[in-house]
Amino acid sequence: MKNAIVVYESVYGNTRALAEAIAAGLDASVLPVQKAGDAAAEAELVVVGGPTHMHGLSTARSRQMAVAGAHEDGGMTVEPLADQEPGLRRWLSELPRCDGHRAAAFDTRLDRAPWMTGMAARGVARRLRQHGFEMLGTESFLVEDAEGPLEQGELERAHAWGEQLTRLLADTAAPAVAPGS
């Protein structure tokens, strides 16, 4: 899709992989949040996602703890920008008003009831709405454990969601035609 971006925050690479799959379904560009800057203001559709930490959006502290834990375990791969700012919270708080722009939000979380795990996508969507975005949807993608990997089939589901967002955007952009016109 022309003029769409997927902005993500990722610690272990799961959310990055999903962002890439969603972008492939949309034919959009992908940016880590640390490099997204004001790209959202120029995009017709912005899809934003991150991992669920402590029932919601990650914080600088929760990212630092995740990176430190991965280094202690020794075997975990950590994304190069994982502990750098801005994280999603700060990036979202600094967004300009984007009235009339469309957005969608996604997260990664464990396969348990949302009241148990939380859902970062809810917080992302709320913040996007506060900046004037019209939300096309939210989606959670599941990981087997807090660090991953993604559950089987989630990358395919992310790609399909990207395609669905393309159709939703086309449907909402089409002018209404009165019957009998």
Question: What whole-number distance in Å separates Cα of residue 45 and Cα of residue 62?
Answer: 28
Q: Is the pLDDT of residue 164 over 50?
A: yes
Ramachandran sector of residue 132 (left: φ over 0; alpha: ψ -120 to 50; beta: rest): left
Q: What is the pTM of this model?
A: 0.87
pLDDT of residue 177: 46
Rg (Cα) of the chain, in Å, rounded? 16
pLDDT of residue 74: 62
pLDDT of residue 1: 55
**Nearest Cα to 56, choosing from 110, 15, 117?**
117
Beta-carbon contacts of residue 39 (< 8 Å; ≥ 6 apart): 5, 7, 31
Q: What structural domains and CATH numbers belong to the chain?
A: 4-173 (3.40.50.360)
pLDDT of residue 100: 87
